[in-house]
Amino acid sequence: MSNKEVKAALKSARDAIRNKEYKEALKHCKAVLKQEKNNYNAWVFIGLAAAELEQPDQAKGAYKKAIELEPNQLLAWQGLANLYEKPNQTDVRGDLADVYQKLLQLYESGDKQKWYDVCNKLVELYHQEKKYLEVAETWQKLIQVKQEEGAEKAELHQLWKKMIQLLKDSTQNQDNKAEQLLLSAFEHAVNSADTVPGEDQQNLYKDFIHCLSKLPHETARLEKACHDMMALYPTVSYPLEVLCLHFVQSGTLSEEALDCFSRLLEMDANSGPGIIGFGIKCLQEKKYGEAVKSLTEGLQKTSECPAAWHYLAEAQMKIHKHRDAVLSCNQAFKALGSLEGPSLRWKNRILQLRAEVLIKIPDADAAEEAIQSLEQIVDASSDPVVLALRGRAYLNKGLMDQASKISQELLSSHPDLAESHALEGFIHYSQKNYEQAERSFLNAIERKAETAEYHQYLGLTYWFMSDETKKDKGKALTQFLKAAKLDTYLGRVFYYLGNYYRDIAGDKSRARGCYKKAFELDGTDEESGTAAVDLSVELGDMDTALSILNEVTEKASTGAAKWAWLHRGLYYLRTGQPSQAVADLQAALRADPKDSNCWESLGEAYLSRGSYSTALKSFRKASELNPELVYSIYKAAAVEQILGKYENAIATYQQILKKTEDYVPALKGLGECYLMLARSALDDYLDRKAVDYIEQALEFFTRATKLRPDVSCLWKLLGDTCTSVHVISPTKVNVQVLGSLLGKDAGKEMLKKSELLRLGGRCYGRALKLMSLPSIWCDLGINYYRQAEDLTAVGTDMNEITELLEKSLQCLKKAVRLDSKNHLCWNALGVVASCSAIGNYALAQHSFIKSVQAEQINVVAWTNLGVLYLSTGNIEQAHEAFKIAQSLEPSYLLCWIGQALIAESIGSYDTMDLFRHTTELSMHTEGAKGYAHWVCSTLQDKSNRNTELYLYNIVQMNAVPAAQVVLSKYTERNPDDASAFTMLGYLNEYLDLKRQAADAYERAASLLKNSEDTEKYNMAMQNYGRSLCALGQCDKAIEVYTSIPLTEFDAIVGIALAYFKKGLLQESMKAYEKALSVAESEQDKAHILTALAIIEYKQNKVDAAKTLLFKCSLKEPSTESLKALCTLGLVKQDATLATAALKELLKHEKGDDRIYERCLIACAVYALQGRNVEVQREVSKAIHSNPDNPALWSLLSRLVPLYASQKAKGGAVAGAIAHVLDVNHGKEALLNIAVNQLAAGCHMLEDEKNNPLKNIQKAIHLCPDNPAGWAVLMAACHAENTVVCLNNTQPKRTGLEMTLVSTVSAKTGKNNLPRNYIRNLEDWCLCQAITSLEESGKLSEAEALCTKGLKSCPEHPALFLLLRQIQCKQLLQSHKELPDNVLEELHKTVMTSSTSVAAWQADVSNEHWPSLVQEATTEALKLSSCPLAALLQALLQYNRKMGARETRRMLERVVYQPGNPETIVSVARWYLLRHLYAKDDHELIHVLIENAKANGDVRALELNEKLSASA
């Protein structure tokens, strides 16, 4: 290829590159290179095209080849630079720098602009690589070139600033040359700035000074730069701040430094460095408090100054804030930078200071930290002071040997060093070698007299010296005073000065000042604070004491400053501020929860506040922590007493007396508790219990007075206890009193009521001798009044009574003279003045009015005033007084009794309501008797039984039981009130409490026996005789009746009934005939004729009885005669007579009064007629009309199993309702529920909680003497055993048959039951036991029991049947053919019991008997729908032809028939399942299995699993 062709090819390559056809360009270039291998342009073009085609290696190679060919040509270098500048070329930065350097050489003499561009790129590249020296040199060269070109000052200024910007991070690399170039750039920039100072130049100066401040060796430049900036900008604080920090860090505080601090604070009072400088100045001037304050404030603004932190730590150590000083030293370490030069020096100083501070803290951990700090000091071993500090640290840590070793080394190497001798002194002091310590400290003071610590410890040495000659407190005082003078912040010195002035000099005021100073210096010094507070209290300066405590508690954190909280809490407790006391004492306990004394104080605070429950817990906690705190136990008992927990309080008091027998407060507390229990028992009318309590209270009060006869309140309490018996009947008061109380030496004496009241008066007199108080005069007056009351009740001479009442008046007048504003005294005076023996009603009225004036809310006085008005006949005024009392306190009982008496006197309808309300409020004798009187009066008036008033007052208000209860309490308190006992007997009769009625009537008769009113006595005897007759004590009743004249109708009828019940029918008949002649009303005559008819029937004169009853019904038939006639028909099985009588009865007796009796008679008649359905319907109708009558529900439950057994589940529900409605019927209801459930086939597997066995067990638990319950229990056990056998499990209740039979026999013997009922019940139980024995396989025992039963009752068909069945079963089990004579016997037995379903059911396994089984079961089904007979027929069919359709039909009838017992259904289901599997009828199998699941038939389900598996 010619040169022309080469040029053409190169031109084509250039055009191709211009057109971005790089591959085409490569072709052309390759063609050229084939011709000319060293063609420069071809290699350059190849490099360019390859670079654009993303072939960097080829491009790089091409450019380097071109450079080899011509090194000084630009094109290849430019191309290589462009290639290296591409983003994907990251690993060629070094090569790129070389390329830029070559380009700079090539451009230097040519294109200056390109030179500048390449220079900028090179600087940027060096800056990215953090090659600050190369950056500086290259940029400085650029500035030189600009200077040579004559660039302007402004442009050069910007270039210097750019250089500063590039090199601002160079100081971190510690490159000295780069740093110098940076500083040079700053200087040039500052010098080239405008002559007029501006903000840019200010910022430039700041950056320059900031840079210099990081370079410790450029101190001169820094000071010059700061001064230059201050000259230019005199109002800017920055250079001064830097200069101040520089002076602080340098550690030399010259006049210039102090001047800087002052100028800076003048310029900016909030400047951190300025405040720090001022703090350091204060430290030099020994103003340590101000120094700490200023340095702390300054460091909050400028925290990165380790020297300032050091100065702060030093100042804090001077004022003994040691822990704060340690924290400051730690901050100083954080602020330290590199540990060279000045920083290393500061580190050593900080470490040494930290160690000194830690040594001042008396703590082993602090000592360990001190040792660690000392170990970090460089060249520490050569410094004796540091070595002495190490010795002190070892000593604090308890390492005595190491400390002694260091001490010996220092004393030998540095004998003139004060620290050497001081260390020796500290060691001796810690070992209590005070004489050696004295010498050492004196040597240390001789060498360094200005150290306060040495004087302090020398003073402590003198203070604690044990040798009497050395025990010179004056010397100690001298040293303490010197120490205090040298170091006014040394708190412990002031504490010991306080001890000296308090204990030695006796100057409490000066001692208080020293303690206060010590506490101000060290807020953690509890001893100083406590002493200062205690002395302030002693000196009466409570304000100072409180200010100290407030200051401490305000600063205290949670769980700290216990002493302050405790002292302030006790102060608040003393000054009657319990809420604040509680808060403070709680805070004290947070600091120390184990302080028993603090818990005790907290209990006192709670008690003062009225928080009794929490007080009790606090006292108990105190006694738990310290069982020896008797006071805490006593206070716990006292709080329990306040809360009314008297039994608990008594137990706690007794606990104290076990430890301390003579602890009078506990004896007093015990007496008070028993007295309060006695009062409570009296309120509840438990008088005998109250007497017991009073006796115990007297014992403890007497023991207390024996120990402390000078205590007035104990005698007063004795008086109160004796006087409290005034309400109790004299017959019940027999109290044993210790002989010491009666002036006797020992033993006890029994006192009656009058003697006890007189003793109470003497006790009040003893209390008055000790302390003449108006309240005790009042109590004495009341006691005399109670004595007079007692004598009046006994019937003593009036002169003695009058004398006592006069004494009472005088005492009460004395009380009101002493305290004319005591409403209680005025009220008592009014009561005494108004009594009938005195009758001074004017004085009484005056007294009550004065009582009301003294206390406006005075319900007692208003009530007493009302009573006074009522007794004097002023009803209107009485009503007003009672009304005011009611408005003041609506629950006060006596004012309501007053209103009731007013209502009674004016004949108001509200009387009974008011009396009832009094009994609802509380128990009172007047209210109780009044209410009982009105209830009895209402009950005696039989004409009002259907009125709304009667229904409300008697029925709805449950009046009879309420009146009986309150009247019982009344008679307990008033045993001599005959009318009350008569009313009580009447109410007891009404409630069917026969024994209690007889006792009440007997008491009434005995009280009236010697009275003049014979009519009342005769009436009482009649009542007594009637009640005895009701109890069945006929002999005694006859005796009572015969002791009085038998002229009245009621008395004659009463003795007639007694004769009848006794069985003396002729005497009874004569008495009734006599009564018939006396009877006035036709109704009475009808009743007597009915009674005569019953007597005739008893004599088997049925016709005569009928005649008398018909005679009754012809005149004016009474319901009783009709009932008797109907009953006669029932007994004689005369359905016509019974039906007719019932018809008449239903005509004459309507309403709900005797619905149960009517229903019972009607059911009996329907049963006699054979109308079983009507029996159940009759009771259901009655219940529909009277759904709240439990007797009817109970009757329905009893009749359903007898006459409607298919509805047995409903019968069980009826029994449950009866049980819920009335507990009395509940006993019978549970029995009926069990019977119904047995009839319905219920068992325990169906319901574990509600089943026959559980219910009958409950019934027996409630009524264990009912023989029917034990009989049903036998049936329930038998049923449960049968069910478990069907479920393939072993029966649990076996072997009970004979026990239960014996129990039933025993119970029937105890109860007064009809003979026929007893015989039937015992026969049934015998048969049931035999059946159970038979089914359990005990055939021999069953046969023996049968034989035994037949001996006592040879004509019993059921026993014969059972015996034959057992005998046949034994023969059948032996697999022998039954003899004809046996079959004949069985046939005879069945025919004798042809109406018994059980007789026709036979266990037949012999295939010769199908016709006999069929006949027996058919006969059974004719008698009743017997499920068992149906099952037997189905099984017979199954036995004949298992797969027949009739077999399935008969088994399904048993399984799916509702109401069949589950036990029978389970057997049928089992055989039906086998039949269905034999027929392979899967659909019916599925239906049957679902039925089995629904009924819980486990046996059927198990069989299904086996059959399905085998199929």
Choice among 379-388, 913-922, 1444-1453 with the minimum mean pLDDT: 379-388
Say how far apart CA 667 and CA 664 lie, in whole Å.
5
pLDDT at 503 > cutoff 90: no
Q: pLDDT tens for residues 370-398?
A: 777 777 777 766 788 888 878 888 888 88
Residue of higher predicted confidence among 793 and 681: 681
Name which residue leads in pLDDT, 238 or 520. 520
| Confidence band for 1399, pLDDT divided at 50, 70 and 90 | very low
Find, among 636, 631, 622, 630, the residue nearest to 594 by Cα. 622
Q: Please say if the pLDDT value at position 198 is more than 70.
A: no
Q: Is the model's pLDDT at 72 over the cut of 50?
A: yes
Q: Is the pLDDT of residue 712 over 90?
A: yes
- Higher pLDDT among residues 1028 and 1440, named by residue: 1028
Mean pLDDT across 354-362: 81
Q: Is the Cβ–Cβ distance between 1336 and 1309 less than 8 Å?
A: no
pLDDT digits (tens, 9 = 90+) for 1145-1180: 777 766 666 788 888 888 888 888 888 888 888 888
Stronger pLDDT, 277 or 236, i.e. the higher one:
277
How far, in whole angstroms, is CA 555 from its chain's centroid? 35
Helices (H) and strands (E) in the chain, counts: 80, 2
> With bands split at pLDDT 50, 70 and 90, how would you rate the model's confidence at 1487?
confident
Question: What is the structure's pLDDT at 1376?
Answer: 59
Which string of b and e fits 1026-1058 if b means at least 16 CB within 10 Å?
A: bbbbbeebbebbbebbeebebebbebbbbbbbb
Return the higher-pLDDT residue of 238 and 1126.
Answer: 1126
Residue type, 1385: E
Query: Residue 748 pairs with which residues in a beta bridge?
Result: 738
Contact between residue 1200 and residue 1214 where contact means Cβ atoms under 8 Å apart: yes
Q: HSE-up of 95 (CA within 13 Å, CB side)?
A: 13
CA distance 372 to 646: 65
| pLDDT score for 469 | 42
- Which one has a higher pLDDT value, 879 or 1204? 879
Q: Percent of the chain at pLDDT above 90?
A: 18
Helix H or strand E encompassing 750: strand 748-751
CB of 998 within 8 A of CB of 1024?
yes
pTM, two decimal places? 0.61
Rounded Cα distance, 727 and 796, in Å: 18
| Phi–psi pair at 451, nearest 5 degrees | -90, 115
Q: Among 1254, 1262, 1212, which residue's Cα sits nearest to residue 1232?
A: 1212
CA distance 718 to 1505: 87
Q: At 621, which amino acid appears?
A: K
- Res 233 pLDDT > 60: no
What's the confidence (pLDDT) of residue 1400? Answer: 44
- Can you tell me whether residue 523 is helix, strand or coil? coil
Long-range contacts of 1090-1098 (CB under 8 A, 24+ apart): 1090/1118, 1090/1120, 1090/1121, 1090/1124, 1091/1056, 1091/1057, 1091/1060, 1093/1121, 1093/1124, 1094/1060, 1094/1124, 1095/1060, 1095/1065, 1095/1068, 1095/1069, 1097/1128, 1098/1065
672-699 pLDDT per residue, tens: 999 999 999 999 889 999 999 999 999 9
Give 670's pLDDT tier (boundaries 50, 70, 90). Answer: very high
Of the candidates 820, 808, 821, the residue with the CA atom closest to the CA atom of residue 778 = 808
The type of residue at 1486 is H
**d(C-alpha 634, C-alpha 656), whole Å:** 7
The one-letter code for the residue type at 470 is K
Rounded to an integer, what distance in angstroms lies between the CA atom of residue 317 and that of residue 329? 11
Distance CA 1115, CA 1093 (A): 15
Whether the CB-CB separation of 898 and 927 falls below 8 Å is answered with no
At residue 737, what are phi and psi to the nearest 5 degrees? -120, 140
Of 931, 1013, 942, nearest to 1021 (Cα)? 1013
Q: Of 1276, 1199, 1184, 1190, which Cα lies nearest the Cα of 1237?
A: 1276
Average pLDDT, the chain: 79
User: Cα–chain-centroid distance for residue 546?
Assistant: 38
Q: Which residues share a beta bridge with 737? A: 749
**For residue 738, what are the β-bridge partners?**
748
Residue 82 has pLDDT above 70, yes or no: no
Cβ–Cβ under 8 Å, residues 902 and 875: yes
Name the residue among 781, 789, 861, 848 with its Cα closest to residue 818.
781
DSSP state of 473: H
DSSP per residue over 903-914, as a string?
A: HHHHT-TTHHHH
Of 1008 and 239, the one with more pLDDT:
1008
Q: What is the Rg, in whole angstroms, of the alpha carbon atoms belonging to the chain?
A: 61
Burial track 647-685 (b if 16+ CB lie within 10 A, e otherwise): ebbbebbebbeeeeeebbbbbbbbbbbbbbbbbebbeeb
Beta pairing partners, 736: 750
Is 435 within 8 Å of 462 (Cβ atoms)?
no
Average pLDDT over residues 1078-1085: 81
The string over 428-443, giving b where at least 16 C-beta atoms fall within 10 Å of a residue's C-beta and e elsewhere, is: bbeeeebeebbebbeb
3-state secondary structure 571-596: HHHHCCCHHHHHHHHHHHHHHCCCCH
- Per-residue pLDDT at 987: 93
Distances (CA, A) of 960 to 538, 931, 932, 1124: 71, 10, 8, 30
